[in-house]
């Protein structure tokens, strides 16, 4: 039996949902507000902040002081690059786990996921030394590698879940029809899993775009993405809230817009397979 | 061409022996039906022939060539799956053309063959649709179309009609039989439905727990079942089995009488009461509780007006009693 919903009950839930949504979004909103204030106004009491004058001064100054375009481009290269490399590795890996599982496949999946539970700082020193010795410090290639590796378990897990939903008989039919492994993955599996692959791609781009541990530790300027761009405005000499907020807004805007337009795909992707 | 020979084939999954050593030969152009209860290994056997499962031991020869280690695509066989296994993201045309694309045929040749198959299967008007927009019967035809265009040495059907409703099943059954008459290609067909087996097959292979119980034409199996299993499995309603004193009179352990071979007439050797009468129109199936030989199923003409509680006298038709020894084997 469907649960009865009264008008009051619906009103309460609606208000509660909007309140929670607003609370979650508030820090981002506050950053956006601060970015349109002068440095002096930005440190006033909240009420005074809201009533003070609006200005684009911080944006102009941020543009002058640092190269937004370069950081933005690095973020694009790192997030897209690491996602594509991860997909190229994860699609065959998830295929084999979903369709020709061995005795230890489940254990392997759990083990892969468990690596995500390890604190990244635990391997900072060896990673740093490896990067130094291979000349990868502050290079895009090195960071693409690291971002690929840290997100690979999630990408494989997500694709594995999607692939499990595809009936094995269809792949067997393709095999009977003369498809070799490559054709099977290319013409049958991948097109059938497009919605799944798309949401995996989106999620991974977002995770890679927001990754702020390795990108801060292993880059300085050449390969520095937007996370480094934000961090450069928080210095030991003191915080410049307005400029920091302007930089942050510029850094998160692209991914926020991407997330906004693809939210349907993302939600579908994250809940896929949860309900048959 | 389409001769398939299996010799000493076995299949084990872990510790479970699904197919004990099995020999079978399928002649070119034959319509062979594998029939048996669920879990008897008939689908596994078909998948072994297709190459979708590896043999645990044994050998398969297709048209005289050893195909034991050949991958599915190189065996020259085409398979129609129970779930149709169509490619949902491709149009009907692309579905049917897929094996041709894999064989790297030119676009012109692909089109020609697809159009030809579509004509045979009445799919010409549906070529641009996706499988999701088709009915069950049409999907099944697309699956068959995809098999036809490969011009295979043999077709393998894995319970292809079990997802269709009863009426459509009869139509598709006839269509597949007609297709066999037209193409004259070897067909291996798996079903658990003995009506399908009887109506379609040139040769039926009755399987039970991975073993072949009997191989023969439908009428051979009906007339001379090799054992109790085949006698009970082939024929609908199922054969009546009687043991004890009545069987001893015939010098055997068990006797079998088919429901259609029992006559309801005064002076019969068995007396009983009608428990249930199922009126099918042309026929009526009676469940009769007899005083001496237990419950018997009897098939009588639909014209005969019998109901629950009626007293009847039954007798087997002369020469229509099957005799089985204590091991269940048919005895002369």
| C-alpha–C-alpha distance, residues A199 and A191, integer Å | 14
Residue A197 to residue A200: CA distance in whole angstroms: 5
The domains of chain A, with CATH numbers, are 7-59 (no CATH), 67-232 (1.10.3720.10)
Strands B283-290 and B330-331: unpaired
Beta bridge partners of B297: B287
Q: For residues B248 and B215, state if they share a domain.
A: no
What letter would DSSP give residue A66? S
The string of pLDDT tens digits covering residues A147-182 is: 999 999 999 999 998 898 888 889 999 999 999 889
Query: What separation in angstroms does the CA of A10 have from each of A3, A21, B158?
Result: 12, 16, 52
| B26 beta partners | B4
Domain total in chain B = 2
Residues of chain A with pLDDT > 90: what percent?
37
Q: What is the distance between the alpha carbons of residues B271 and B292, in angstroms, rounded to a whole number?
A: 8
Q: Convert the pLDDT of each residue in A63-112 to its tens digit.
A: 888 888 899 999 999 999 999 999 999 999 999 999 888 889 999 999 98
Are B219 and B246 in the same domain?
Answer: no
C-alpha B266: how far from chain center: 38
C-alpha–C-alpha distance, residues B129 and A61, integer Å? 58
Whole-angstrom distance, CA of residue A124 vs CA of residue B204? 69
Mutation for testing the B interface, residue in A176, A184, A185 having most B CBs under 10 Å: A176
Shared domain for B23 and B151, answered yes or no, is yes
Q: Parallel, antiparallel, or unpaired for β B77-80 and B154-158? A: parallel
Considering the domain architecture, whether residues B283 and B299 belong to the same structural domain is answered as yes
Would strands B311-316 and A238-239 be described as parallel, antiparallel, or unpaired?
A: unpaired
Provide the domain limits for residue B325: 238-331
Q: At what angle do helices B107-120 and B92-102 cross, to 10 degrees?
A: 130
pLDDT at B304: 87
- H helical segments located in chain A: 7-35, 39-42, 46-51, 57-65, 68-99, 105-114, 124-133, 140-164, 168-176, 181-183, 190-192, 194-210, 214-218, 226-231, 241-261, 263-271
Chain B residue whose CA is closest to A169: B85
d(CA B246, CA B123) in angstroms, rounded, equals: 58
Please tell me which residue of chain A has the smallest CA distance to B76.
Answer: A176
Q: Could you tell me if B220 and B273 lie in one domain?
A: no
Selected residue of B99, B114, B130, B148 to mutate for chain A interface (largest A Cβ count, 10 A): B99
| 3-state SS, residue B67 | coil
Query: CB B82 to CB A169 under 8 A?
Result: yes
What distance in Å separates the CA atoms of residue A230 and residue A240, rounded to the nearest whole number?
Answer: 11
Strand order in the sheet with B330-331: B240-243, B254-257, B322-324, B330-331
Q: How far apart are CA B281 and CA B301, in angstroms?
A: 9
Q: Provide the shortest C-alpha distance from residue A267 to chain B (in Å).
A: 22
pLDDT attached to residue A275:
40
pLDDT, tens digit, for every residue of A14-49? 999 999 999 999 999 999 999 999 888 888 888 888
**B220 and B272 belong to one structural domain:** no
Same domain for B34 and B68? yes
A210, two tokens: 């927001």
Contacts of A95 (CB under 8 A, 6+ apart): A163, A185, A189
Which of B238, B271, B269 is CA-nearest to residue B256?
B238
**In Å, how far is A80's CA from the nearest CA of chain B?**
26
Out of A170, A178, A194, the one facing B87 most closely (by C-beta) is A170
Q: Which of B231, B259, B287 corresponds to the end of one domain?
A: B231
Tokens of A100: 């020709």
Q: Are residues B25 and B108 in the same domain?
A: yes
Structure tokens at A95: 């295929």
Of B169, B201, B231, the one marking the end of a domain is: B231
Do B279 and B176 fall within a single domain?
no
| Contact at CB, B78 and A176, closer than 8 angstroms | yes
pLDDT tens per residue, range A187-212:
998 888 888 888 889 889 989 998 88
Whole-number Å distance between alpha carbons of A29 and A35? 10
Residues 6 or more apart whose CB falls under 8 angstroms from that of A241 comprise A34, A39, A42, A43
pLDDT at A273: 46
Position A274 scores a pLDDT of 43
Is pLDDT of A269 > 70? no
| CATH number of the domain where residue B109 is located | 3.40.50.300
Task: Give B24-42 as a DSSP string.
Answer: EEE-TT-EEEEE-STTSSH
CA distance A93 to A116: 18
* Range scoring the smallest mean pLDDT among A115-124, A261-270, B26-35, B242-251: A261-270
CB contacts, 8 Å: A179 with chain B:
73, 98, 102
Mutate to test the interface with A, among B73, B151, B162 (most CBs of A within 10 A): B73
Mark B27-52 as b/e (b = at least 16 C-beta within 10 Å): eebbbbbbbbeeebbbbbbbbbbbbb
- Of B231, B248, B273, which closes a domain? B231
CA distance A247 to A251: 6
Q: CB of A246 within 8 A of CB of A230?
A: no
Q: Would the CB atoms of A177 and B88 count as touching at under 8 Å?
A: no
Query: Within its chain, how far is the Cα of A217 from the centroid?
Result: 18
Are B168 and B280 part of one and the same domain?
Answer: no
Which of B72, B81, B103 is nearest residue A169 as measured by Cβ atoms? Answer: B81
Phi and psi dihedrals of A184, rounded to 5? Answer: -60, -45
Tell me if A176 and B98 make a contact (CB, 8 A cut-off): no
What pLDDT is stored for residue A268 in this prediction? 66
Q: How far apart are CA B136 and CA A109, in angstroms?
A: 37
Tell me the CATH number at B295: 2.40.50.140
Nearest CB to B99 within list A169, A178, A188 = A178
> Predicted ipTM?
0.82
* Residues B251, B215 share a domain: no
Q: Which of A127-131, A270-274, B149-153 is predicted with the least confidence, judged by mean pLDDT?
A: A270-274
User: Which parts of chain B sit beneath pLDDT 50?
Assistant: none
- Within this chain, do residues B31 and B74 fall inside the same structural domain, yes or no? yes
Q: Which residue has the tokens 């095999």?
A: A175
**CA B107 to each of CA A173, B104, B135: distance values in angstroms, whole numbers, following the listed order:** 21, 9, 28
Tell me: pLDDT of A276 over 50.
no
Task: Tell me the residues of B at the A interface, defined by beta carbons under 8 Å apart.
Answer: 50, 52, 71-73, 77-79, 81-83, 85-89, 98-99, 102-103, 146, 150
Give burial (CB, 10 Å; 0-12/13-18/19+) of A232.
middle
> Model-level pTM?
0.77
Q: From residue A39, how far is each of A16, A46, A245, A266 by CA, in Å?
A: 35, 14, 10, 37
């Amino acid at each position: 039996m469907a649960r009865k919903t009264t008008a009051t009950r619906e009103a309460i839930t609606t208000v509660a949902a909007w309140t929670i949504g607003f609370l979650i979004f508030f820090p981002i909103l506050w950053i956006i507000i601060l970015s349109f204030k002068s440095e002096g106004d930005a440190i006033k009491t909240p009420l005074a902040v809201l009533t003070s004058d609006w200005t684009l001064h911080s944006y102009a100054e941020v543009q002058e002081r640092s190269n937004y375009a370069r950081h933005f481009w690095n973020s694009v290269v790192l997030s897209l690059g690491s996602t594509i490399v991860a997909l190229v590795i994860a699609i065959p890996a998830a295929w084999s786990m979903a369709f020709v599982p061995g005795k230890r496949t489940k254990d392997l999946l759990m083990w892969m996921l468990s690596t995500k539970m390890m604190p990244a700082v635990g391997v900072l020193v060896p990673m740093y030394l490896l990067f130094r010795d291979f000349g990868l410090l502050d290079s895009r290639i090195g960071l693409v590698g690291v971002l690929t590796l840290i997100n690979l378990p999630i990408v494989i897990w997500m694709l594995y879940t999607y692939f499990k939903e595809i009936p094995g008989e269809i792949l067997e039919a393709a095999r009977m029809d003369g498809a070799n492994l490559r054709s099977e993955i290319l013409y049958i599996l991948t097109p059938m899993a497009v919605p799944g692959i798309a949401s995996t791609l989106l999620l991974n781009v977002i995770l890679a775009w927001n990754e702020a541990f390795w990108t801060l530790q292993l880059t300085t300027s050449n390969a520095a993405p937007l996370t480094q761009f934000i961090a450069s405005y928080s210095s030991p000499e003191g915080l410049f809230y307005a400029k920091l907020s302007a930089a942050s807004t510029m850094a998160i805007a692209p991914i926020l817009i991407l997330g906004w337009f693809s939210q349907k795909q993302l939600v579908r992707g994250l809940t896929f397979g949860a309900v048959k | 061409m389409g001769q398939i020979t299996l010799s000493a084939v076995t299949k084990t999954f872990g510790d479970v022996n699904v197919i004990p050593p099995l020999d079978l030969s399928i002649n070119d152009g034959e319509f062979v039906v594998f029939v048996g209860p669920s879990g008897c290994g008939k689908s596994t056997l078909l998948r072994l022939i297709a190459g979708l499962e590896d043999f645990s031991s044994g050998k398969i020869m297709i048209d005289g060539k050893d195909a034991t280690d050949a991958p599915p695509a190189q065996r020259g066989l085409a398979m129609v799956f129970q779930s149709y296994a169509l490619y949902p993201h491709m149009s009907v045309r692309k579905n049917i053309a897929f094996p041709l694309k894999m064989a790297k045929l030119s676009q012109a040749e692909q089109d020609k063959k697809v159009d030809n198959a579509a004509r045979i299967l009445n799919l010409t008007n549906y070529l641009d649709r996706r499988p999701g927009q088709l009915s069950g019967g049409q999907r099944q035809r697309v699956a068959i179309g995809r098999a036809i265009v490969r011009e295979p040495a043999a077709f393998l059907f894995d319970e292809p009609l079990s997802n269709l409703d009863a009426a459509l099943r009869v139509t598709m059954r006839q269509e597949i039989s007609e297709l066999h008459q037209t193409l004259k290609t070897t067909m291996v067909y798996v079903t658990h439905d003995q009506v399908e087996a009887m109506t379609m097959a040139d040769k039926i292979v009755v399987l039970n727990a991975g073993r072949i119980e009997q191989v023969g034409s439908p009428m051979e199996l009906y007339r001379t079942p090799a054992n109790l299993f085949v006698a009970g499995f082939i024929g609908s309603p199922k054969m009546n089995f009687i043991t004890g004193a009545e069987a001893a009179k015939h010098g055997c352990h068990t006797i079998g009488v088919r429901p259609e071979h029992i006559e309801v007439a005064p002076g019969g050797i068995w007396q009983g009461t009608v428990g249930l009468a199922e009126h099918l129109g042309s026929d009526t199936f009676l469940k009769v509780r007899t005083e001496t030989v237990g419950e018997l199923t009897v098939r009588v003409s639909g014209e005969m007006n019998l109901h629950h509680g009626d007293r009847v006298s039954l007798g087997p038709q002369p020469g229509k009693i099957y005799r089985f020894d204590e091991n269940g084997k048919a005895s002369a």
